[in-house]
Amino acid sequence: MSEYSDHDARGVSVGLVEKRFFTFAQPPETLCLESGGRLGPVTVAYETCGTLSPAADNAVLICHALSGDSHVAGTYRADDPKPGWWDLMVGPGKGIDTGRYFVICANVIGSCMGSTGPGSPDPATGRPFGLNFPLVTIGDMVKAQKVLVEHLGIQRLLAVVGGSVGGMQVLEWSVRYPAMVRAAIPLATTCRHSALAIAFNEVSRQAIMADPDWRGGAYYEGPRPDHGLAVARMIGHITYLSDEALRQKFGRRLQDKEAFSFNFDADFQVESYLRYQGKKFVERFDANAFLYITKAADYFDLAQSHGDGSLVAAFAKARARFLVVAFTSDWLYPTYQSRELVTALKKNRRDVSFCEIEADWGHDAFLLPNPRLTDLLKGFLHRVHSDPA
């Protein structure tokens, strides 16, 4: 039997969780940003589950992707039908076992899920920042996370874990604060965006900015650019899937009809699905936050910011053990990009494990049930936790 059989292999929910808020960088001690701008006060929304050990040596920071938030697992109330976005991976007996680890997940700055972002009140005016909010980078997001982690009494993280844009944060943590990270687990991510990824983000941003209700980002007191944001989400959602995923899920099947409408209704199931995804997204996300986070992802270049253009030089600063995971059908961040960072780590003689998981579901595969990924994370974290610090 598995050494983890003390819990149901499928895991149990962490139960009720609470969103908390931490505010720092009160003027004049504002947060200095990579753009040269300053921001303060800064509020970070975060959630925790599990118990911090007396030695504070079992903390795992989970970094979310572009449209994610701090609600990583559990529910806010007993009758809440929707658990956190990675509830399948975080909880007692799961891949990230809250019976063993103290899990932290913080909403990135620049977002709209509780942390300071373009929809937050500008202290100078009392009105939402809009485009007066300074551009933030992945490095700025990580800098804010570090302040939170230290506020929680943690000087060294057992691991930092994240996929996609969350994986960028993991990589940034590993070289910006190497002494604070024992293990780094970047999933389905990249050291820098390709021209293809930047192109998709730019088309998405243009969809928002072309909406007449965007009004240069100053839409908070009137109609919001829902149509533009919905189209942006539709574009992004396509990049998260794969040709095989779309073929299996939809093919060319029609939606609630037996023949073409010969108009511009949603004839195909895939059209209806994308429209639904766009509609649901505008109910929970802010258009300006989408602009800011996609721009931060496009600016991210680990080699340039930490190694004068050399990825090997950038990773020379890292001290963590790494588990790098890619997925065969991820065409947004293809496996070759993960292999590139693995090669740079090996040239620095870092302790790195790499796995490419066979999966049909594209970039979003790390968010879906996958026993192999669960076992990888569970085993890797256990080995790191069991080894002397």
Catalytic residues: 164, 330, 363
Residues 6+ apart with CB under 8 A from 185: 159, 160, 161, 162, 170, 322, 323, 324, 325, 377, 380
CA angle 33, 35, 37 (to 5 degrees): 60
- Report the distance separating Cα 87 and Cα 72, nearest Å: 6
- 17 Cβ partners below 8 Å, 6+ apart? 47, 48, 49, 71, 73, 74, 75, 76, 84
Residue 332 CB-density burial (10 A; 0-12 exposed, 13-18 middle, 19+ buried): buried
Before 41, cis peptide (omega within 30)?
yes
**DSSP secondary structure letter of residue 322:** E
| CA pair distance 166, 212, nearest whole angstrom | 31
What are the phi and psi torsion angles at 298 (to 5°)? -65, -35
Give the 3-state secondary structure percentages of the chain, helix then strand then coil, rounded to 5.
Answer: 35, 15, 45
Q: What are the tokens at 70?
A: 């701090």
Residue 175 near residue 315 (C-beta atoms within 8 A): yes
Q: Is the dihedral of CA 260, 263, 266, 270 positive or negative?
A: positive
